[in-house]
Amino acid sequence: MSPVAPSIPRVTHCLSFVDSHSAGEPTRVVLDGFPELPGETLAQQREALGRDFDRWRTLVNLEPRGNDVLVSALLLPPKQPDCVAGVIYFNNAGPLGMCGHGTMGLVSTLAYLGRIGPGDHRIDTPVGVVTATLHDDGRVSVANVPAYRHLQNVSVNVEGLGEIRGDVAWGGNWFFLVDVGERVLSLEDVAGLGDETLRIRQALSDAEITGEDGAEIDHIELFSHAGGVNRNFVMCPGGAYDRSPCGTGTSAKLACLAADGQLQPGQVWRQESVIGSVFEGVYSLEGDQVRPVITGQAFITMQGELIVQDGDPFAWGIRP
């Protein structure tokens, strides 16, 4: 009797990827297999992704192939001259503007694949061109888009917490930054910190406090200087906290420190995350905004192919 061939569902889609983490926060670079996104600019392509191709985002980023913490980086041909790559970042909630830790992951991935070497590399993003420097020792410095403080010392009434004050700043994404003074931000308390920051975000939305042009403030950042250490806790749009000190969040913080005269151009700011990992930031002045440069390191963790088989009920992710 000849053996019966097992029935293996046909593979309908296959996307190659490389995963890394930057200071603990994961990045998945999608190299190919994604459909072509229409648009003359990366901003238009990001819009198209959110509008017409969202199931591809959820395929890559949501369980069972991804998770809530993951930020994905779709590698694209750049639209701007002299750029080594174009990229659109997205997470479990939708497309992002910029992503600092993700840019470190992208640059380390391109180096791992042998596509770039040490030096300066211009990268096209939906919110502008950033320049990343790959150092000989593997660290990556990201000269981010200009950052600025939009609103200072805004008061918001938060359910269960009372009045909270903070600044609204742009660092490539919109942030509400709350100084919690000497309070210790510890990994043991991430559930409580998560609950607190999500309440703050809700209160901002209820009070219609926004970034410029009504933009949603989708990142909440608590800052502590307990024991003389600058530590933060950053809540990301999809309800997961940033394991890294957050590149765009550190950029927003630099803008606020500059506006308050608490940090001079070129002076190094050491920013620790709630898991104890560190980015370093400096800034230079650009008119009434600052140009932040954030330095950290990414490590490659995985390489492979995301496979979709015919008939998989969770091919497009487990959605709420």
Q: Which residues bind ligand PYC (CB under 6 A)?
A: 25, 71, 99-101, 236, 242, 244, 246-248
Torsion on CA atoms 249, 202, 237, 58, rounded to nearest 10: 180
Q: How far is the CB of 93 from ligand PYC (least distance, A)?
A: 10
Q: Which residues of 190-214 are buried (b: 16+ CB within 10 A; e: fewer)?
A: beebbebbebbbebbeeeebbbeee
> CB-based contacts of 145: which residues, under 8 Å, 6+ apart?
98, 125, 127, 128, 130, 172
Distance CA 168, CA 29 (A): 30
Using CA atoms, how far apart are residues 320 and 312, in angstroms rounded to an integer? 17
Least distance to ligand PYC from the beta carbon of 102, Å?
A: 6
Cα 102 to Cα 80: distance, rounded to the nearest angstrom: 19
Beta carbon nearer to ligand PYC, 72 or 248: 248
On the CB side of 316, CA atoms within 13 Å amount to 7
236 is catalytic: no
Q: Which is nearer to ligand PYC, 196 or 242 (CB)?
A: 242
- What SS3 state is found at 45? helix
Catalytic one of 14, 83, 236, 246: 246
Distance from C-alpha of 234 to C-alpha of 143, rounded to nearest angstrom = 20
Residue 45 or 244: the one with the smaller Cβ distance to ligand PYC is 244
Cβ proximity to ligand PYC: between 56 and 279 the closer is 279
Which lies closer to ligand PYC via its Cβ, residue 124 or residue 242? 242
The answer to whether the CB of 74 falls within 8 A of the CB of 30 is yes
Query: CA-based angle 139:41:115, to the nearest 5?
Result: 35
Give me the least distance between CB of 100 and ligand PYC, in Å please: 4
Catalytic residue among 83, 99, 236, 256: 99
CB of 23 to ligand PYC, least distance (A): 9
14 labelled catalytic? no
Nearest approach, Cβ of residue 310 and ligand PYC (Å)? 34
The neighbour count for residue 180, using CB atoms within 10 Å, is 19
Active site residues: 99, 246
